[in-house]
Chain A
Amino acid sequence: AQSVTQPDIHITVSEGASLELRCNYSYGATPYLFWYVQSPGQGLQLLLKYFSGDTLVQGIKGFEAEFKRSQSSFNLRKPSVHWSDAAEYFCAVASWKNNDMRFGAGTRLTVKP
């Protein structure tokens, strides 16, 4: 079965600084990859997804992610972080057949003023 690793439990960046959140996945075939964001006490919102094609995908709120098959990675980036980006971020992988999305443990982002 597929699995996801997010190596960083907690990251702190200054407002206006760039951001990269790491995600590594394990799956035997071409995965469907996702990044979700969760504000405290809320459900999850999709930021972006990769199914096929261009390996650099653009999402909402100025986020982007790059699929690197050779590294089994799907890192999330943002050139300039805003205070409102403080939240928990989850990387996820799904397979077409299984319909069961697996999530990483999440990375909590703190933004310093």
Chain B
Amino acid sequence: SQTIHQWPATLVQPVGSPLSLECTVEGTSNPNLYWYRQAAGRGLQLLFYSIGIDQISSEVPQNLSASRPQDRQFILSSKKLLLSDSGFYLCASSPRTNTGELFFGEGSRLTVL
């Protein structure tokens, strides 16, 4: 099965500062990759998904961007954080064979002050 590594696990950043959350995947090749945000009591919101290197779809207009410089690396970034960017960010991966199942990382908690 796949293993998803996310870091940092927690992050406290001031408004207007940049952001970089990193996710790497082990145990599979050419996976589909996802970034979700989980706000308190609001479930998971799909932010970005990627079917290959430099192939990224954005689901909602926002202050964030994503990049996939390598097959098993997915990065979530922002140039200037907003208060509303606070939340729990989850990276997920699904195999190319598309069983539909997602494998999740442990998450990164971002607090913007």
Closest to B100 in A: A32
Minimal beta-carbon separation of A112 from chain B (angstroms): 21
Contact (Cβ within 8 A) A43 B100: no
Rounded to whole angstroms, the CA-CA distance of A78 and B54 in the bound complex is 43
Contact (Cβ within 8 A) B41 A103: no
A20 adjacent to chain B (CB < 8 Å): no
Closest to A32 in B: B100
Interface size on B, residues (CB 8 A): 26
Residues of B within 8 A of A34 (CB): 100-102
- List residues of A whose CB falls within 8 A of some B CB: 6, 9, 32, 34, 36, 41-46, 49, 51, 90, 92, 94, 96, 99-106
- List residues of B whose CB falls within 8 A of some A CB: 4, 32, 34, 36, 41-44, 46, 49, 51, 57, 59, 90, 92, 94, 98-102, 104-107, 109
**Can you name 7 A-B pairs with beta carbons within 8 Å?**
A44-B90, A49-B99, A49-B101, A92-B102, A96-B100, A99-B32, A100-B59
